[in-house]
Structure 1
């Protein structure tokens, strides 16, 4: 039985043929993501996976022009370290409370992320100041691959999701992040010990590995009095 060609692979093959045939000339700029999503009638996620495939084949090069970083009390946090380590490195005296660690099924999220399996590891955490005031609520959803099957029962490696993923050979090398400000819902306000409807910074980050597969989705509610979103633009001089 022939192997099924995934959507992003089909798009990558079409664009590769256009590059090799000269339809897309060397040095020319590819159509933007929005144009490609309309042309192929797929999501932006699928388009980005196709572009990642072309990049791995050496057919295109991408240049990051914009970056977003979360800051705590004015100091930038390194997401690659995991927030527990990053906050500690900045001298922040923050403790982490695990509210939930279990295997769940979420068909809606699987469809949104274009995953074949709807099985996830759910990890919900509070970050709390020494006096007991929560400053963030984070909900991570990780595709429950075989290497992580025992984690919901056995727990995280050294209490760290970043270390747990690394031990399973999973590391987010790129992805997307969205940010907005929204009011706290009743359940969120109870967990964060704040008034319902209070405005907090809300972020959603989808991290992907070098192969384009989803490693983690994390949604966070961040106290705007302590966290800020720092945006960078342009390319640094070489």
Structure 2
């Protein structure tokens, strides 16, 4: 990889773009695999003969593209696209576990409160009914991937200390297992606050998700609004031919 990263004197493309292009090629051809650690900036400077500022600029370009990500104190890594099924009702914790990764939570808020009018409507309850308000950053493999804000009727979570990692696990333990749900996904741009929390560029692509889940008897258990990193997630669904026709 040493020689293939060096700039070509006859190429008038800016040096940082040449480095980004060469690294991008190694990622696409599999020479640098998802999860691999990128050589340090100092090592890349020695390998390419470029200045450290130029090397950092080239790396930053690939981070903006979502091909690389930095982990504080650990280095820069090749990013892996996460395929999340949209046809299954599963939690962030379960999805991370299925990928063989450890999930973690940074709590923003965990309290009892009254719902807003929109939240009460989404939950199908009067605005005078108390809810649990949960705000948290979801991490997988130590990397912040999503921000979630959930509201749950308080009767389903009478003990806030029981809510640790998985909301669905806490609900199920209290006899309110989610068995069905709906979600809406749309593309958006990260706000400055979201960008700072998720360690991405301001106005980077994110996926906004609204989800509600129901118990077996049809009660609405949660209304959750999330912001997922668009550079890391692909939401995938399986398609089948409808009963009334043929595929076109």
Per the TM superposition, whether the score is higher than 0.5 is yes
Structure having the higher Rg: 2
Task: Assess if the C-alpha contact under 8 Å between 1:77 and 1:83 holds in 2.
Answer: no
Q: Does 1:101 align with 2:110?
A: yes
| Aligned match of 1:134 | 144
- Paired with 1:122 and 1:224, the residues of 2 have a C-alpha distance of 25
Mapping 1:144-163, distance limit 5 Å = 144-145=154-155, 147-151=156-160, 154-156=161-163, 159-163=165-169
Question: 1:161-195 CA deviation, whole Å, 9 max, x = no partner?
Answer: 22210121112222211000111123222222323
Q: Does 1:176 align with 2:182?
A: yes
Q: Does 1:209 align with 2:215?
A: yes
Q: CA deviation at 1:78?
A: 8.6
Task: Assess if the C-alpha contact under 8 Å between 1:122 and 1:139 holds in 2.
Answer: yes
**CA 1:120–1:164 in 2, change beyond 3 Å: closer, same or farther?**
same
**3-state SS of paired residue (1:232):** coil
Mapping 1:189-208, distance limit 5 Å = 189-208=195-214
**3-state SS of paired residue (1:218):** strand
| Higher RCO (CA-CA < 8 Å; seq separation 6+) | 1
- Paired with 2:144 and 2:166, the residues of 1 have a C-alpha distance of 19
Task: Assess if the C-alpha contact under 8 Å between 2:93 and 2:165 holds in 1.
Answer: no
- Which residue of 93, 97, 100 corresponds with 1:88? 97
Instruction: Compute the RMSD of aligned alpha carbons.
Output: 2.8
- Paired with 1:173 and 1:194, the residues of 2 have a C-alpha distance of 34
| Aligned match of 1:119 | 130
Q: How many pairs does the alignment contain?
A: 162
- Paired with 1:111 and 1:95, the residues of 2 have a C-alpha distance of 30
**CA 1:216–1:136 in 2, change beyond 3 Å: closer, same or farther?**
same
Q: CA deviation at 1:226?
A: 1.7
| Aligned match of 1:73 | 82
Q: Which ranges in structure 1 are unaligned for 5 or more consecutive residues? A: 1-71
Task: Assess if the C-alpha contact under 8 Å between 2:137 and 2:144 holds in 1.
Answer: yes
Question: 1:100-151 CA deviation, whole Å, 9 max, x = no partner?
Answer: 2111212311034331244211122212354x54111111211111x52222
Task: Assess if the C-alpha contact under 8 Å between 1:107 and 1:118 holds in 2.
Answer: no
Q: Which ranges in structure 2 are unaligned for 5 or more consecutive residues? A: 1-80, 244-248
Q: CA deviation at 1:79?
A: 5.5
**CA 1:166–1:183 in 2, change beyond 3 Å: closer, same or farther?**
same
- Paired with 2:140 and 2:165, the residues of 1 have a C-alpha distance of 18
